[in-house]
Amino acid sequence: MEKLNDTQIEDQLKALDGWSYNTESIHKTYTFSDFKAAFSIMTRIAFECEAMNHHPNWENVYNRLTIHLNTHDAGGVTELDFELAKKIEEIVEI
């Protein structure tokens, strides 16, 4: 995977509601009703990540889940990160 440039990243972010870019990763924070709901979503996301062999940097504090995506091997954000972000959006919407 090739690292995307800032313009390519900003263009693709337009299709992802609430996601931002900080020069290292794309990221989003989700808020759920409680810890159990947040952890349940994390578990479903984890299965998708494992299937893609692409793993996020994430943090869970009570009912909040913050996800940072980048492709370590490419040294930045790639198409793979946007593919995973879209899958995460689908999981969260369920």
Task: Report whether pLDDT(93) > 80.
Answer: yes
Whether the pTM exceeds 0.85: the reply is yes
Measured in degrees and rounded to the nearest 5, phi and psi for residue 18 equal: 85, -5
Half-sphere exposure (Cβ direction) of 13: Cα atoms closer than 13 Å: 19
The pLDDT confidence band at residue 23, using thresholds 50, 70 and 90, is: confident
Residue spans of the domains in the chain: they are: 6-93
Fold classified for 6-93: Gyrase A; domain 2 (3.30.1360)
Continuous segment of H or E residues that includes residue 7: helix 6-13
Report the DSSP beta bridge partners of residue 21. 26
